[in-house]
A and B are shown apart, each in its own frame.
Chain A
Amino acid sequence: MQENRSIPVMDVLIAVLLIAAGVASAMSARHLGKSVLEPIGPGAFPLAGSFLLIALSLLVIWRAVRVGTTKSNVDEFKPRPGMAVLALALTCAYFLVMQLEWLSFRWATVGYVTLLTAALFDWQPRKLPAAIVSGLIMGLGLTYAFTQVLYVDLPS
């Protein structure tokens, strides 16, 4: 197995994001007033948490640049990031149609489960009936179970 060293980009990216979150939190927590009942007040924990988050993120970046990572060139299988992006896009669309009240939970779920199942099977025509059945069971079955049996509120 061939190995090489590289900078772990994901480590750096996450650390930068967390530094930004830490700075924003620290700025916001700085303006919180003191409490009259005890000396530390509501800002102490968020402020300390923000500073530690920033410090640890800087450490992660430092380690990523200094030490790097060992990357294997051989993958046992081909990852499908594109499929994950498609699934996330479908999921966002699913939430949106409910938020905008274009479809009820029942029909939005039928459509979403059918489409996502078909997509995960690479749109194979022979899997389509199973995807539709799965969608119907989830959409109609769950709506009945949650509203008629468990009395749990569902979106829209």
Chain B
Amino acid sequence: MEFLLPAIANVFTPMPFLMMLLGTTIGIVVGAIPGLSGGMVIALTLPLTFFMESTHALILMVSMYVGSTSGGLISATLMRMPGTPAALMTILDGFPMAKRGQPGRALGFGIMASFAGGMVSWLFLALLSPPLAEIAVRFGPYEIFSMTLVALMLISAVSAGSMIKGLLSGFLGILVSMVGVDPSSGALRLTFGVPDLETGFRLLPVILGMLVMSQVIGDIVNINQPIERVQTSFRSMFMSMNDLRRQWTNILRSSLIGTWIGILPGIGGTTAAIASYTTARNFSKTPEKFGTGTEDGIVAAETANNAAVNGALVPLITLGIPGSVIDVLLLGALIIHNLTPGPLLFQDSPEVAYGIIAGALVANVFMFIFMILGTPIIARLMYVSRAYLIPPIIVFCVIGAFAQGNRLFDVWIMLAFGVLGFLMMKAKIPTGPFVIGYILAPIAETQLRSGLMVYDSSFLPLLTRPVSAAFLVIAVLTLFWPFLMKRRKAPTAPAHLEDE
């Protein structure tokens, strides 16, 4: 409370408040436009934050994260296209309800559920983070290495489809991160005699190429993709007291599921929405109505995907373990601003750590107000032709790639990674694991080698130190988690989910 209340008050001072307003608004709009995503806009925003105060930059990006996760609801309901992957399950009931002539009601339930999920999970973020960070601050290099290993195992969890392809993408990211000067010995690695590679592949060109440019190339290839629309009218966007009474158990259950799944490394909003939707269906007295436009389905999916946002921030700010690809970008933002991700953040820069927590709260409240008032306008923006959006996005990528090192070489690197990312997407190789490997591998390597220096070249403390050993066990379990889930999911998943 000592830091939290002042941090919340700080969000209401002019600059942070402007950042929060801007971030949430841009996030919602981008989240609502199919083909654009929260990850894209956060990656594009990174270079603009160079000259901002760290707290302002993080508030901006966290607000974008909150906004984009919620904005996906609008296109999922009105266009049958999830603006963000986390809104995938919202389509199942949101679109049929909108098509039945109740788009306002479908959106109203989704917005209320998003808000409630965000608020419940924020409580966990605010209550769990400081004590967790206090424990984690005592960790040595081997504990941090094991923790980073857990985060690297995210690769298996975010590998939708083939795990082999996910690991392939992850190891490519690890290899790319090794190019340049070795931080421990100063030796040049994998530069192949190219002087421009001596500084390595910089963060922004690689991320902008892999996450944004690849998606843009995909959007150009699919520029003829037709969009299904429903007639929109936005009457009755508020839930009645009766609706709230009927939904409160669903909201609470879905919030807890979303928060818990968010806290687990790598299992982001999409999985949270699927798990919550399936649970709501299993608990329902009328499961046959799921998928036909029931309020229960919209509430379960939207509550959980928003709860997962704050849930994923818990390991990010306390342990430096990102919960999703967007969290990896936030981790990158901390590094760019010369902040140490993890428990030291609370000790060295409490204003940033608590700023993130406070920003998440205020952004969630603003998201609710903005979406209730602004959805009719955003619904029109969604239909803006992609031909108008693509060229400016590429120009922003150029500025972002150039800004970090003032070299056009980085702009070419961004384009090269964009083409590589597009080819990977065509081969159904996910790009998320690449980014995770690229950002986390140098941290893991540095900590392991520091540990070896501290413990006389012995690997044994990795297993004998309890926290390190516990994290190693979690890392192994995380690696095999998708297999276990696959085995458990098979008999319970509703048939119509497979079609989606």
Contacts and interface: CB of A to CB of B under 8 A. Distances in A.
B132 interface: no
B487 interface: no
B224 interface: yes
Contact of A153 (B387, B388, B402): B402
Interface in A58-86: 59-60, 63, 76-81, 83-84
B167 interface: yes
A24 B224 contact: no
A42 B47 CA distance: 30
B11 interface: no
Given A80-B224, A152-B50, A33 B187 contact: yes
Contacts of A94: 398
Given A10-B426, A42-B182, A146-B399, A77 B222 contact: yes
A28 B192 contact: yes
B187 A77 contact: no
A138 B190 contact: no
Nearest to A121: B387
Nearest to B412: A95
Interface stretch (B24-32, B168-176, B263-271, B466-474): B168-176
Interface in A101-131: 109, 112-113, 116-117, 120-121, 127, 130
B411 A155 contact: yes
B388 A79 contact: no
A13 B237 CA distance: 50
B172 A53 contact: yes
B34 to A, nearest CB: 14
A44 B50 CA distance: 33
Contacts of A29: 178, 189-190
Contacts of B448: 40
A3 interface: no
Interface in B136-184: 162, 164-165, 167-168, 171-172, 174-175, 178, 182, 184
A113 B390 CA distance: 9
Contact of B388 (A53, A80, A117): A117
Interface stretch (B318-326, B344-352, B449-457): B449-457
B167 A56 contact: yes
Contacts of A88: 217, 415, 419
Contacts, number: 178
User: Dominant SS at the A interface?
Assistant: helix
Nearest to B226: A77
A156 B182 CA distance: 31
Nearest to A113: B391
A11 to B, nearest CB: 5
B178 A49 contact: yes
A28 to B, nearest CB: 5
Interface string B85-102: 000000000000000000
A29 B441 CA distance: 16
A138 B390 CA distance: 12
B490 interface: no
A113 B225 CA distance: 22
B394 interface: yes
A6 interface: no
Nearest to A118: B387
A138 B392 contact: yes
A130 B388 CA distance: 9
Nearest to B164: A59
A52 B155 CA distance: 14
B223 A83 contact: yes
Contacts of B334: none
A154 B457 contact: no
A112 B190 contact: no
B164 A41 contact: no
B51 interface: yes
A46 B162 CA distance: 24
B406 A38 contact: no
Contact of B175 (A8, A21, A41, A146): A21
A69 to B, nearest CB: 9
Nearest to B217: A84
Interface in A5-38: 8, 10-11, 13-15, 18, 21-22, 24-25, 28-29, 32-33, 35, 37-38
A89 B226 CA distance: 26
A81 B402 CA distance: 27
9 cross-chain pairs, A with B, having the tightest CB-CB distances, nearest first: A120-B387, A38-B452, A42-B182, A10-B427, A56-B168, A113-B391, A116-B391, A49-B175, A46-B178
Given A13-B423, A49-B175, A152-B48, 17 more contacts: A21-B175, A24-B192, A40-B448, A42-B185, A46-B178, A46-B190, A49-B174, A50-B175, A80-B222, A80-B223, A88-B419, A117-B388, A117-B391, A120-B390, A130-B388, A152-B47, A155-B408
8 contacts: A10-B426, A28-B189, A38-B449, A38-B457, A45-B445, A49-B171, A152-B403, A155-B408
Interface of B: 47-48, 50-51, 162, 164-165, 167-168, 171-172, 174-175, 178, 182, 184-185, 187, 189-190, 192, 217, 220-226, 385-388, 390-392, 394-395, 398-399, 402-403, 406, 408, 411-412, 415, 419, 422-424, 426-429, 441, 445, 448-449, 452-453, 457
Interface of A: 8, 10-11, 13-15, 18, 21-22, 24-25, 28-29, 32-33, 35, 37-43, 45-46, 49-50, 52-53, 56-57, 59-60, 63, 76-81, 83-84, 87-88, 91-92, 94-95, 98-99, 109, 112-113, 116-117, 120-121, 127, 130, 134-135, 138, 142, 146, 150-156
